[in-house]
Amino acid sequence: MEIHTNPAFFLYVSLSLLLHLTATSSFSPADSHLVNCGSAEPTTVVSDNRRFTGDSGTHFLTAAKTVPLQDPNPTSSSSPIYHSARVFTRPSSYAFGIREKGIHLVRIHFKRFNSERFNLFDAQFHVSVDGYVLLYNFTGESTQKDNPVIKDFVIWVDTEKLVITFTPSGKSRIGFVSAIEVISAPKDLIADVAQFVNSEKNERVDGLLKNAFETVYRINVGGPKVTPFNDSLWRTWLPDEEFLKSSDNSRRVFFSGRIRYQLGGASREVGPDSVYNSARVVASSNDSVPRENITWAFTVTDGYRYLVRLHFCDIASVSLGILYFNVYVNGNLAYGNLDLSSETYGRLASPFYADFLVDGDTSGVLTVSVGPSNRSMPHEVDALLNGIEIMKVNNSMASLDGDVSVKSVLRSPSRGNVGVLVSLVAAVCLFLTASIFMQWRRTGVKDSVAWSRLPVDGSAAYSKV
């Protein structure tokens, strides 16, 4: 009580609120490394007006043997960052200086092409970052022919450097990368808590931030594709049609007013206007509440946990306090009688999101549903959803791509390579020594130069390996 009547305190609160508001209204990341790999051009500007720097001769790259490669026949419609790549024939790393510890977005782009020197369609490699395996036996193959593949990770960094390592594997022993983005995320992007939901429980879990995440789906429900140009964290959101399983009575709604971002709710970095101003709803048009859900289904990999982030913004109701609905994940009640009016402190068109953690042990499909609850009303909107993000959580081996540890990924292929080379060099040395010894025995000790040079050459070749 005393606190509220203290003017100094009130001023302090207002000031810090104001500061917070101005700080969040224009997000400028402390760390922002945008690299166009294999490019000698100092900068490349892409369609969302961002500048990518070339990596030739930069301090990022910490490897002895890498090759910058130009696509001899680039598609003119594709982004210039896909017209070059850096090729690795040995384990190689990029190291990025980190100014601000915390969550970072790590986005890695791959676009295969064929050139005289290397055929990137033969590539196979692993990608790891700090303690995590991101990609294992990765080929850069796209599900849509010839499209670039963009892998999107969220990683907590508490070191001064973020090191991304590419390790060639398989027969061809080449790896490659087209572009890399390392951007510090706003602090509110991922919370440390979520609701764990399965058929037995719905309980709060902590400690989320010690995991690494890969965003596997990012969906703009009811709306068009959102490109990095329209997203303050340069993300891509896909339309939901492809994932819609049942939606007999659902319809799409669009909103042309202003989305009211507010403190304590989702920020513009959590979800952009373009996501919150479209939705899909179940609505009642007569005296009865429809008995049906809208359901979306996503293919996932068993054996991983997934963080499911659902975005809501009531752009469809005519007034406050009339929209109540249930939210289900994998058919289990995740949020009963969700009342957006109270979650958004009594404002319409104000964004809200909820995070649910699920086990991916449901025969490879993860479902999300929204539907009427027992408080839903006739003649009103009875369920709504604006956006879905599904993030894979690393497994207990700190891997996002199989039961492999970073240790084994960093070790295996180079060992094989070096092993073969060492035994080859040893064999050649042995053979040369033997033949020279034979020669020496035949001709005497005349040719001492050759005799003394050989071990020097041999050891030099050996240490280079």
| CA-CA-CA-CA dihedral for 240, 241, 244, 248, to nearest 10 | 120
- In whole angstroms, what is the distance from residue 94 CA to residue 129 CA? 10
Nearer to ligand NAG, 317 or 395 (CB): 395
Nearer to ligand NAG, 142 or 408 (CB): 408
- Least CB distance to ligand NAG at residue 453 (A): 40
- Least CB distance to ligand NAG at residue 60 (A): 24
Nearer to ligand NAG, 146 or 403 (CB): 403
Nearer to ligand NAG, 5 or 256 (CB): 256
Nearer to ligand NAG, 6 or 199 (CB): 199
- Least CB distance to ligand NAG at residue 394 (A): 4
- Least CB distance to ligand NAG at residue 150 (A): 18
HEC assignment per residue over the chain: CHHHHCHHHHHHHHHHHHHHHHHHHCCCCCCEEEEECCCCCCEEECCCCCEEEECCCCCCECCCCEEEEECCCCCCCCCHHHCEEEEECCCEEEEEECCCCEEEEEEEEECCCECCCCEHHHCCEEEEECCEEEEEEECCCCCCCCCCEEEEEEEEECCCEEEEEEEECCCCCCEEECEEEEEECCCCCCCCCEEEECCCCEEEECCHHHCCEEEEEEEECCCCCECHHHCCCCCCEEECHHHEEECCCEEEEECCCCCCCCCCCCCCCCCCHHHHCEEEEEECCCCCCCCCCEEEEEECCCCCEEEEEEEEECCCCCCCCCCCEEEEECCEEEEEEECHHHHCCCCCCCEEEEEEEEECCCCCEEEEEEEECCCCCCCCEEEEECEEEEEEECCCCCECCCCCCHHHHHHHHHHHHHHHHHHHHHHHHHHHHHHHHHHHHHHCCCCHHHHHHHHHHHHHHHHHC
- Least CB distance to ligand NAG at residue 214 (A): 12
Nearer to ligand NAG, 181 or 401 (CB): 401
166, 92 contact by CB (below 8 A): yes
- Least CB distance to ligand NAG at residue 113 (A): 22
Nearer to ligand NAG, 61 or 233 (CB): 233
- Least CB distance to ligand NAG at residue 372 (A): 6
- Least CB distance to ligand NAG at residue 431 (A): 31
Nearer to ligand NAG, 31 or 231 (CB): 231
Determine phi and psi for 106, rounding to 5 degrees: -120, 115
- In whole angstroms, what is the distance from residue 127 CA to residue 358 CA? 26
Nearer to ligand NAG, 87 or 282 (CB): 282
- Least CB distance to ligand NAG at residue 276 (A): 10
Nearer to ligand NAG, 264 or 321 (CB): 321
- Least CB distance to ligand NAG at residue 139 (A): 10
Nearer to ligand NAG, 47 or 58 (CB): 47
**Cβ contacts of residue 361 below 8 Å, gap of 6+?**
302, 303
- The residues of the shown chain that bind ligand NAG, judged by CB under 6 A, are 131, 137, 169-170, 210-211, 224, 226, 230, 274, 285-288, 291-293, 305, 328, 331, 336-337, 369, 371-374, 393-396, 398, 402
Structure tokens at 443: 């001709």
323, 306 contact by CB (below 8 A): no
- Least CB distance to ligand NAG at residue 226 (A): 5
- In whole angstroms, what is the distance from residue 86 CA to residue 81 CA? 11
- Least CB distance to ligand NAG at residue 220 (A): 8
Nearer to ligand NAG, 62 or 137 (CB): 137
